[in-house]
Chain A
Amino acid sequence: AQSVTQPDIHITVSEGASLELRCNYSYGATPYLFWYVQSPGQGLQLLLKYFSGDTLVQGIKGFEAEFKRSQSSFNLRKPSVHWSDAAEYFCAVGGSNTGKLIFGQGTTLQVKP
């Protein structure tokens, strides 16, 4: 079955600390992988995507993610978190030419001053 698991529902980090949000997926074909961010009261904004090639991808707002096929993971990282990063983060997986995305349940990030 196709699925995405984000094991952490809530994460709290101190401002300036590093961040890693976990994402594991199950997908039968070559996956396309995405991270989206949803700020309170807002829609979803694409942070970064992986289609092929270099397994370390850079996104907006200083985020990066690493695709590890052997672990079926696509973890999101940021070296130094800012208070404005407090939001909900969604990992998603899809395939070529299908359009359909499967979303994880989301991880809510709280940033302590």
Chain B
Amino acid sequence: EAQVTQNPRYLITVTGKKLTVTCSQNMNHEYMSWYRQDPGLGLRQIYYSMNVEVTDKGDVPEGYKVSRKEKRNFPLILESPSPNQTSLYFCASSHLTSGRVEQYFGPGTRLTVT
């Protein structure tokens, strides 16, 4: 089954404790992206990657890191989480070929930082 998976689905942590949220897709997509969703703000892009070893900042990258060492994986790293990073996080992926750019989303990771 074609899908985007994220782990963990729920995470409660404390300020300053490094964490990683994993994202994997099995559709051979070139493009992968991380979003955060907050009430009233819709989805805001954190980082994206257009291929292996190619990553770039989105609209709200502060406090986050990413890497793309393999095509299928795109982990999101919070080196020193803070309470304002409490949010619902989504990973998404797509092809980049014209006409095939719809994004497929993972189930989301709800992160709480206390």
List residues of A whose CB falls within 8 A of some B CB.
Answer: 9, 32, 34, 36, 42-46, 49, 51-52, 90, 94, 96-101, 103-106
Contacts and interface: CB of A to CB of B under 8 A. Distances in A.
Contacts of A104: 42
B42 A103 contact: yes
Given A43-B90, A43-B105, A43-B108, A100 B45 contact: yes
Ordered nearest first, which 6 A-B pairs have the shortest CB separation?
A99-B31, A105-B42, A44-B105, A96-B98, A103-B43, A43-B105
- Chain B interface category by residue count: 20 to 34
Contacts of B44: 103
A14 B106 CA distance: 31
A5 to B, nearest CB: 11
Contacts of B102: 34, 46, 49
Contacts, number: 61
B107 interface: yes
A15 to B, nearest CB: 26
B50 interface: yes
Contact of B42 (A43, A45, A90): A90
Given A44-B43, A44-B92, A99-B101, 20 more contacts: A9-B40, A34-B103, A42-B108, A43-B107, A44-B105, A46-B102, A46-B103, A49-B102, A96-B98, A96-B99, A96-B101, A97-B97, A99-B94, A99-B103, A100-B33, A101-B33, A103-B42, A105-B40, A105-B41, A105-B42
Contacts of B101: 32, 94, 96-99
Given A94-B101, A97-B96, A97-B98, A43 B106 contact: yes
B104 interface: yes
Contacts of B40: 9, 105
